Amino acid sequence: MKNGFHILVIGGGMVGACVAALAASNRHFADLRIAVLEANPPTLPPPDAVDDIDLRVSAISRASERILSEIGAWQLIPRQHVCAYDDMSVWDAAGKPRGPGSIHFSAGESGEPNLGYIVENRRVLRSIYDCAAFRDRVTLLRGELSGLEFEDDRATAILSDGRRIDAALIVGSDGSGSLSRKLAGIETRGWEYDQRAFVTHVRTEHPHARTAWQRFLPDGPIAFLPLADGRSSIVWTTTPEHAERLVSEAPEQVASELTLALDGTLGKVELAGPRGQFPLRLTHAKDYCRERFVLVGDAAHAIHPLAGQGVNLGFLDSAALVEVLAEELDGGLAPAFIGERRVLRRYERWRKSENAVALGLVDGLNKLFGSRADTLGWARRTGLSMLDGHGLAKRFLMGRALGIRGAAPALVRSHR
């Protein structure tokens, strides 16, 4: 294109920034102009900042680690802000860790050095913005999207201040409430859960032992995720009323509830951070693309947090999209035509089916473990115990959670 950009990403969060950086670091995109449009560029801590750990953390999978390493971002996250976890212990409300009605995953069983990492979202985003590919080759635009126009040879983003930005391809990565998706006329399926996620940080009497602990309670699962400074990050899925109380109650009362919720597994709990809550929903776009437009990340799919897969699915979207575009460019496609629906449909067929499996599995688990029926309770406990003794099945599940099984992008597979 003589003017404008070849790729314009709407949304400068972790997934959108990753799309831009992956493209910018790929030799097939060397002559392409890439931009990210972000209404409110985040205030990010310097790499060496020692301020408190933010509430918003993610469980970074092996696949995501490899994707971030490909662009040189993973290497930029200070190790003191990264907590690898080697084990995951999951049990039913009526069970016990490592007892009947539980399942335990360990890195040793997976053949991997660990099961993943707990990292602040802002640290991940800072590393992507600081990587050479993003810093040197991506134009970061500040502005608020208000409209989209599509023509045969280009798409145009219209900003609230009247600016118009042309692109051969617009990538919608503006979250689960995606305005770009709505402006592109793409509908979604899904629903709001009658649940909210309560989040905070805590100190525990006993060390977290680099283990992710998750207990399924009748109103939803509670997870204690290990942090690098010895604290744990709490994600408790519960009723909206209970989440409201947990945010407003006295710290001592909340700490007591958290101790009981994890059945005293880590001893007494003490609040050690701010508190927050957010609504939960499942959404899946009916289409991932149209001519000159494609969706990635939460703009395409929003998932329940119980499996910690949200951003990992988005990073896989990013790698898959860039891989498809690179193959087309390598095959002789002119950059002006990378937004053709024929091209984008390859990505859609690949990732839509993979994401549908993940969304369905997590939604099913949430409903299964949220049921109060006695017969289902017995079935849950029996199923977990049986699965815990089935090494092959456990390795398969760990592979899916790590993002290295299934139809993984080439840059993820190449590290095996």
Are the CB atoms for 409 and 416 separated by under 8 Å? no
SS3 content of the chain, % helix, strand, coil (to 5): 40, 30, 30
What domain range is 152 assigned to? 5-190+281-413
- Whether 144 has a pLDDT exceeding 80, the answer reads yes
Are the CB atoms for 199 and 276 separated by under 8 Å? yes
The whole-chain average pLDDT of the chain stands at: 90
Are the CB atoms for 185 and 150 separated by under 8 Å? no
Lowest-pLDDT range of 6-15, 134-143, 301-310, 312-321:
301-310
- Count other Cβ atoms within 10 Å, centred on residue 405: 14
The pLDDT of residue 338 is: 98
407 assigned to some structural domain? yes
Tell me the mean pLDDT in the region 7-21: 98
- Whether 399 has a pLDDT exceeding 80, the answer reads no
Task: Give the sign of the dihedral formed by CA 10, CA 14, CA 15, CA 20.
Answer: positive
**Confidence class for position 48, pLDDT limits 50, 70, 90:** low
- Say what the pTM is: 0.93
**Confidence class for position 100, pLDDT limits 50, 70, 90:** confident
**Alpha-carbon span 178 to 91, nearest angstrom:** 35
Three-class SS state of 384: helix
More confident residue, 199 or 101: 199
- Whether 328 has a pLDDT exceeding 90, the answer reads yes
Are the CB atoms for 359 and 301 separated by under 8 Å? yes
More confident residue, 387 or 165: 165
The pLDDT of residue 191 is: 87
The pLDDT of residue 302 is: 92
Lowest-pLDDT range of 17-26, 34-43, 44-53, 307-316:
44-53
- Whether 217 has a pLDDT exceeding 80, the answer reads yes
- Whether 307 has a pLDDT exceeding 70, the answer reads no
Task: Give the sign of the dihedral formed by CA 190, CA 195, CA 197, CA 202.
Answer: negative
241 assigned to some structural domain? no
For 164-195, write each residue's pLDDT tens digit: 999 999 999 999 999 999 999 999 999 888 89
**Confidence class for position 403, pLDDT limits 50, 70, 90:** confident
Q: SS3 sequence, 275-310? A: CEEEEEEEEEECCCEECCEEECHHHCEECCHHHCCH
- Whether 355 has a pLDDT exceeding 60, the answer reads yes
Cα 346 to Cα 91, 145, 410, distances in angstroms: 39, 27, 15
The pLDDT of residue 137 is: 97
**Looking at residue 114, which CATH number applies to its domain?**
3.50.50.60
- Whether 3 has a pLDDT exceeding 90, the answer reads no
214 assigned to some structural domain? no
The pLDDT of residue 396 is: 73
The pLDDT of residue 309 is: 73
More confident residue, 84 or 305: 84
Tell me the mean pLDDT in the region 261-271: 96
273 assigned to some structural domain? no
The pLDDT of residue 23 is: 98
**Confidence class for position 47, pLDDT limits 50, 70, 90:** low
255 assigned to some structural domain? no
Q: Per the structure, how many domains does the chain have?
A: 1
Terminal CA-to-CA distance of the chain, rounded, Å?
38
**Confidence class for position 300, pLDDT limits 50, 70, 90:** very high
**Alpha-carbon span 275 to 294, nearest angstrom:** 35
206 assigned to some structural domain? no
Token pair, residue 405, equals 């099984």
Are the CB atoms for 294 and 168 separated by under 8 Å? no
Single-letter code of the amino acid located at 276: G
**Alpha-carbon span 267 to 131, nearest angstrom:** 41
Q: SS3 sequence, 193-258? A: EEEEEEEEEEEECCCCCCEEEEEEECCEEEEEEECCCCCEEEEEEECHHHHHHHHHCCHHHHHHHH
- Whether 371 has a pLDDT exceeding 80, the answer reads no
